[in-house]
Chain A
Amino acid sequence: MNTTPLSARRLIFSSLASLLFAILFFIFAVLPAEFNIDPTGLGKKLGLTALAKTAPARAHAKITPILNKQSAAWQDIVLITIPAQTGLEYKFKLNKDENLHFSWQTQDRQTLYFDFHGDPEGDTSGYFKRYKEQTASQLQGDLIAPFTGKHGWYWKNNSQNAITIILKSSGNYDIIGLL
C-alpha cells in the first residue's frame, strides 16, 4: 500500500489545516444550520438558522398545562400542539395495576394517527405493548397498567397544519410529558 511521501512539516501543516477548516466550517455553517446555534451571527445572515428552525424538531411541539380549579373531575389538563408533518409522544409513568383515566380530542376535530402503548421500565430491547392504534380525533377510557413503566400516546400529524390536542387525565401517575 502506498502513501504519499511527505515532509513532517507539511504533514503537520496539513493536519492543522484540516482541523482549522473543520472548526470554521462547523462554527459558521453546521452549528447554525443543524443546531440553531449562531455564535458569529453569520448563520442568520446566510439564512442557515432558518433551516434549523424548520427542521421537524421536538422543540417546536408546544405543551400548555391548564390548571383546572373549577372542576375536580380531572387532575390535569394539557394542550399539546403538534407541528405539521411531525410526530411526538406524551407519556405518563404508572406503576403496575395503577389506573389512568383519560380523555383527549383534537381542538378542531381533525383526525390523526395515534398509537397508544406502554414501555416497561428498565427495558432496553425496544419492546412495547400496544393498547390501541387508530386514526381518530379523540379517545376516552381507562388504562390499568399491565406493568410498571411509561404509558401514553404517539401522535402523528400528517397534515400541513399544526394540530392541538386537549388531553385530560386523572389517576395515580407521574407526568413524564413529551418524549
Chain B
Amino acid sequence: MIYKNLLFFILLLSISPLSLAHGVDENTAQFLSDNNQTAIGAFIYIGAKHMLTGYDHLLFLVGVIFFLYRIRDILLYVSFFTLGHSITLIFGVISHIQLNAYLIDAIIAFSIIYKGFDNLGGFKIIFNAQPNQKIAVLIFGLFHGFGLATKLQELLPPSESLLFNLIAFNIGVEIGQALALLFIVTLFSFWRQSHSFNHFTVTANTLLMSSGWVLLMYQLTGYAIS
C-alpha cells in the first residue's frame, strides 16, 4: 500500500518531460506566429495544453492543496491563484510587459520551494511566524501570470483580435488547471485515506522542495547560458 501511494506521487511528479516546461512546441509556435485573426477555439486549446504540460504550475498547485481537506478551501485557494495569474497575464500582454522568461520561471520554481517549506511548517519553526497563506498564493499567482504573459507575447503578433485571443488563452489556462486539479485532488483524496499519507507528508514536501530547487537551477543555468 505504501509503495502504491509512493508510486502515485512519483507519477504526479513525472507528468511531463522537463523540456516541455513552459514550452510551446514548434507546430504550436508556427500556428501562433501565422495567426492574425481571432481563433478562440485554438487559443483555448493552447492555454489548456500549456497548463497541463507546465508542471511547474502543477507542482505549485500540489503544494497549495497538500493540506487542504475541504473542497471549499481548495476552491478558495485556487481562486486566489487564478485571480493572481489572470491579472498579470492580461495586464502583461496588453501593456507589452515582457520579462526575461528564464528569470520569471526561476521565480515560479522558487514558489514551489516556498510552498514545500511552508507545508513543513518552516516559517513557524524558524521565524515563529506564519505568513498569510492566501496572500502568498495570490502573490505567487501574479508571478505565474507574468510567466504566461511573457511566453504568449513571444509568439503572438498584435492584431485587432488580440484581446479575444488573449481571453481565450486565459480561459484555456483555467480549463487546463481545472482538469489538472481534478486529477491531483482525486489522487490526494485516495492517498489521505491511508496511513501512509501521514508517514509521507514530510518526505513528500521535501521532494517538492527538491523539485523546486532543480527547476530553479535549470532556469538559472538557462539564463546564464543564453
Partner-B contacts on A (CB < 8 A): 1-8, 10-11, 14-15, 17-19, 21-23, 25-26, 30-31, 33-35, 37, 55-56, 87, 124-128, 156
**Contact between B26 and A1, CB atoms less than 8 A apart:** no
- Kindly list chain B residues whose C-beta atoms are within 8 Å of the C-beta of A56: 26
Number of interface residues of B (CB under 8 A): 45
- Chosen A-B contacts, 28 in total, with CB atoms closer than 8 Å, are A1-B73, A4-B202, A4-B205, A10-B202, A11-B120, A14-B206, A17-B206, A18-B113, A18-B207, A18-B209, A19-B210, A25-B210, A30-B18, A30-B214, A33-B18, A34-B19, A34-B218, A35-B221, A35-B222, A37-B221, A55-B19, A56-B26, A125-B96, A125-B153, A125-B158, A126-B154, A126-B155, A126-B157
**Contact between A87 and B26, CB atoms less than 8 A apart:** yes
* A132 → chain B closest CB, angstroms: 14
- Kindly list chain A residues whose C-beta atoms are within 8 Å of the C-beta of B8: none
**Contact between B155 and A22, CB atoms less than 8 A apart:** no
* A-contacting residues, B147-165, CB 8 Å: 153-158
- From A1, A4, A33, A35, contact of B120 by CB (8 A): A4
7 other A-B residue contacts (CB within 8 Å) besides A37-B221, A126-B156: A3-B121, A7-B125, A11-B126, A15-B206, A25-B214, A26-B214, A126-B158
Quick one: which of B118, B218, B222 has the most chain A CB within 10 A?
B218
* A-contacting residues, B181-226, CB 8 Å: 201-202, 205-207, 209-214, 217-218, 221-222, 225
- Kindly list chain B residues whose C-beta atoms are within 8 Å of the C-beta of A124: 96, 98, 153
* B85 → chain A closest CB, angstroms: 20
- Kindly list chain B residues whose C-beta atoms are within 8 Å of the C-beta of A7: 125
Q: Give B5-23 as 1s and 0s: 1 = Cβ < 8 Å from A's Cβ atoms.
A: 0000000000000110000
**Contact between B221 and A3, CB atoms less than 8 A apart:** no
* A24 → chain B closest CB, angstroms: 10
Partner-A contacts on B (CB < 8 A): 18-19, 26, 30, 33, 67-69, 73, 96, 98, 113, 116-122, 124-126, 133, 153-158, 201-202, 205-207, 209-214, 217-218, 221-222, 225
- Kindly list chain B residues whose C-beta atoms are within 8 Å of the C-beta of A18: 113, 116, 206-207, 209-210, 213
Quick one: which of A3, A6, A31, A127 has the most chain B CB within 10 A?
A3
Name the residue of chain B whose CB is nearest to the CB of A5. Answer: B121
**Contact between A21 and B210, CB atoms less than 8 A apart:** yes
| Given contact pairs A6-B202, A14-B206, A35-B225, A126 touches B153 in the complex (Cβ within 8 A) | yes
- From A10, A15, A125, contact of B117 by CB (8 A): A15
A15 to B123, CA, bound (A): 12
| Given contact pairs A1-B68, A1-B133, A17-B206, A8 touches B126 in the complex (Cβ within 8 A) | yes
A5 to B124, CA, bound (A): 10
Name the residue of chain B whose CB is nearest to the CB of A1. Answer: B67
- Kindly list chain B residues whose C-beta atoms are within 8 Å of the C-beta of A11: 120-122, 125-126
- Kindly list chain A residues whose C-beta atoms are within 8 Å of the C-beta of B73: 1
* B221 → chain A closest CB, angstroms: 6
- Kindly list chain A residues whose C-beta atoms are within 8 Å of the C-beta of B202: 4, 6, 10, 14
* A123 → chain B closest CB, angstroms: 9
A175 to B86, CA, bound (A): 40
- Kindly list chain A residues whose C-beta atoms are within 8 Å of the C-beta of B125: 6-8, 11
